[in-house]
């Protein structure tokens, strides 16, 4: 069994040593800082403490429904000081990958989006053409003529070369049908903002972005290239943008399968699990646990001592 994590809650000396060990902290948001519109206790004070000690803070979120500007608004509404350049989301990561790494040749480089406006905003910021997403033309029931027009290709955009799947609060049969037929065309690239199966909100769990893309995986047998945590493409992008020293960086998150795995596979100096979100302590104490954090606390605010 891997070494068990150090429990920091209530241990002032251990907390002080932990904070002093790292120069950069990467924070997941949902389930760590808040759940839905509920801010967890002492979060603002904890972030202020870290900043007062000269620590670099980066908010790293898999929630693709919000752009960086949207997340800045969310942080502001929670009373958390931030700037847009401190925010790195899976929607932004996807746009950067498409425009600067994938670089499909025109004209077949348009994106069909399963997702919300956050993805669209970040795609537009990189000059990427897209369809689907929040367009009301796709937010309706499928009609009989849609079957014919999708099957014969007349309803499909010939310039779509990428299907990008994220969290879509308006997912429906029509969108999935379009996505399936785009993916059936040779050369189409399948991307996912992230693969979180659930999303913590209001003290409970709801379907996450990973649950939106799974039907397409089942239909096509194709696994998407993942842009969010735990993808190391995202870690490389963060390292390049923020010039972090991985050995002096700690990933803070609530999910073992995304946040903590992200930090471990990225060979960061440490990982801190909080118990206010998805994963529970029992998941890393069982025999054969594959992902074990280096540290854990009951809640982020416990770092105040």
Q: Are 274 and 252 in contact (CB under 8 A)?
A: yes
Q: What are phi and psi of 89, to 5 degrees?
A: -110, 165
The catalytic position among 20, 28, 245, 259 is 28
Instruction: Supply the DSSP symbol for 36.
Output: T
Would residue 85 show up in a list of annotated catalytic residues for this protein?
Answer: no
Measured CA to CA, the distance from residue 257 to residue 191 in angstroms comes to 19
List beta partners, residue 130. Answer: 111
Contacts of 106 (CB under 8 A, 6+ apart): none
Q: What are phi and psi of 25, to 5 degrees?
A: -120, 125
The catalytic position among 20, 30, 245, 302 is 30
Return the number of other C-beta atoms located less than 10 Å from residue 235's C-beta.
24
Q: Are 164 and 111 in contact (CB under 8 A)?
A: yes
Would residue 259 show up in a list of annotated catalytic residues for this protein?
Answer: no
The secondary structure element, H or E, covering residue 61 is: strand 56-61
Asked if the bond preceding 107 is cis, omega within 30° of 0, the reply is yes
**Annotated catalytic sites, by residue?**
28, 30
């Amino acid at each position: 069994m891997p070494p068990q994590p150090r429990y920091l809650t209530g241990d002032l000396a251990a907390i002080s040593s932990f904070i002093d060990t790292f120069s950069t902290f990467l924070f997941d948001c949902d389930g760590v800082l808040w759940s839905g519109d509920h801010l967890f206790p002492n979060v603002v004070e904890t972030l202020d403490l870290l900043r007062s000690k000269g620590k670099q803070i980066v908010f790293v979120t898999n929630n693709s429904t919000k752009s960086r500007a949207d997340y800045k608004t969310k942080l502001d509404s929670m009373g958390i000081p931030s700037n847009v350049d401190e925010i790195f989301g899976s929607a932004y990561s996807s746009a950067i990958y498409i425009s600067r790494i994938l670089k499909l040749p025109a004209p077949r480089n348009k994106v069909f989006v399963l997702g919300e406006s956050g993805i669209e905003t970040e795609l537009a910021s990189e000059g990427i053409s897209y369809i689907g997403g929040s367009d009301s033309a796709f937010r309706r029931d499928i009609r009989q003529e849609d079957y014919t027009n999708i099957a014969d290709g007349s309803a499909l955009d010939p310039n779509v070369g990428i299907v990008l799947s994220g969290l879509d609060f308006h997912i429906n049969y029509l969108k999935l049908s379009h996505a399936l037929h785009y993916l059936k065309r040779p050369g189409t690239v399948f991307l996912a903002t992230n693969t979180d199966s659930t999303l913590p909100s209001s003290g409970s769990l709801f379907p996450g972005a990973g649950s939106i893309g799974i039907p397409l995986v089942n239909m096509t047998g194709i696994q998407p290239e993942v842009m969010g945590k735990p993808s190391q493409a995202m870690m490389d992008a963060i390292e390049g943008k923020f010039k972090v020293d991985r050995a002096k960086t700690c990933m803070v998150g609530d999910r073992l399968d995304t946040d903590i795995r992200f930090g471990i596979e990225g060979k960061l100096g440490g990982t801190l699990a909080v118990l206010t979100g998805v994963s529970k302590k029992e998941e890393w104490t069982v025999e054969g646990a594959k992902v074990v954090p280096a540290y854990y606390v009951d809640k982020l605010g416990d770092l105040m001592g």
